[in-house]
Amino acid sequence: MCNRKTSFCLAVVLLAVVLLAGALPLRGQTVPPATPEEEGKLIAVLLSDTPLKAKMDACRQLAVIGTPKAVPVLAPLLEDEKLSHMARYALEPIPGASVDQTLRDAMGKLKGRLLVGVLGSIGVRHDAKAVPALMKMLDDPDPETARAAAGALGKIANAEAAGALREKLGSVPPKVRPAVADATLACAEALLAADKPGEAAALYESVTKAELPKHFRVAATYGLIQARQAAEKKK
C-alpha cells in the first residue's frame, strides 16, 4: 500500500513528465511559411556590411524559411572562404531547380575545400544532372576532390552514377579507390532497396573483384548474396 510520501513523489514525477512533454515540439509539427518580409530581411542582411556572425545567422534561418528568391544572393557566397559552408547549409533544403543549377555552376569555378563542400551538397540533393561532371572529377588530380565526387555519385545512386562508379573502380589511383568502393557499395545498397537487384549485383560484384582491403570484399560478397536472392524472388 502506498504511503503519502510515495504518492507525493509519484505526483511530482508525473507533473514533471507532463510539463516536459509540453515544452517539446510535437513530432511532425510543421514550420509556418515565412512571409516575404521575413525572408527579405534575411536577404538584406547578406547584402549588407553587417558582421560575419549576423550573416551566418541569416543563412541558418534561411535554411528553415528560404525560398528560391534567396538563391541568387546565396550563390556568390559559395566562393567566400568564411561563408561558403553556411551558404550551402542554407541552399541544401531550398526546393527548386535553381539551387541545383547554382551548385553545378559552382563546380566549374571552385577548387579545393570549397569545391569539396559543393560536391557534398550536390550529393545531398541527389542531383542527377550533375552526374556527367562528377564522372570527370573521379579523375581529378586532387584526391579530396575525386573522393568527394565519388561520394556524391554514391548518394545520387541512379543507373548513370552506378555505371560511372563501376567503370572507374579499377582504374582510379589507390588513394581514391577506397572512397570509390564506399560509394559503389552505397549505390548498390540504394539500388537494392529500390528493387533493382540486377543492377545492385553488378556493382557488388565489381567490388569483389577490385584490389581493395578485405573488409570491402567481405561487405560486397554479403551484398551480392542478398542481391542474387532478391533477383531470384523476382523471377
**Topology, domain 128-235:** Leucine-rich Repeat Variant (1.25.10)
Q: Does CATH place domain 37-125 in 1.25.10?
A: yes
pLDDT per residue as tens digits for the range 26-78:
334 454 555 778 999 999 999 999 999 999 999 999 999 999 999 999 999 99
Which of 15-19, 154-158, 188-192 is predicted least confidently? Answer: 15-19
Q: What is the pLDDT of residue 208?
A: 95
Name the pTM for this structure.
Answer: 0.81
pLDDT per residue as tens digits for the range 79-96:
999 999 999 999 999 999
| Span(s) in the chain for CATH 1.25.10 | 37-125, 128-235
DSSP letters of the chain?
---HHHHHHHHHHHHHHHHHHHHSPPTTPPPPPPPHHHHHHHHHHHHS---HHHHHHHHHHHHHH--GGGHHHHGGGGG-TTTHHHHHHHHTT--SHHHHHHHHHHHTT--HHHHHHHHHHHHHTT-GGGHHHHHHHTT-SSHHHHHHHHHHHHHH-SHHHHHHHHHHTTTS-TTTHHHHHHHHHHHHHHHHHTT-HHHHHHHHHHHHHSS--HHHHHHHHHHHHHHHHHHHHH-
pLDDT per residue as tens digits for the range 208-224:
999 999 999 999 999 99
pLDDT cut 70: percent of the chain above it: 86
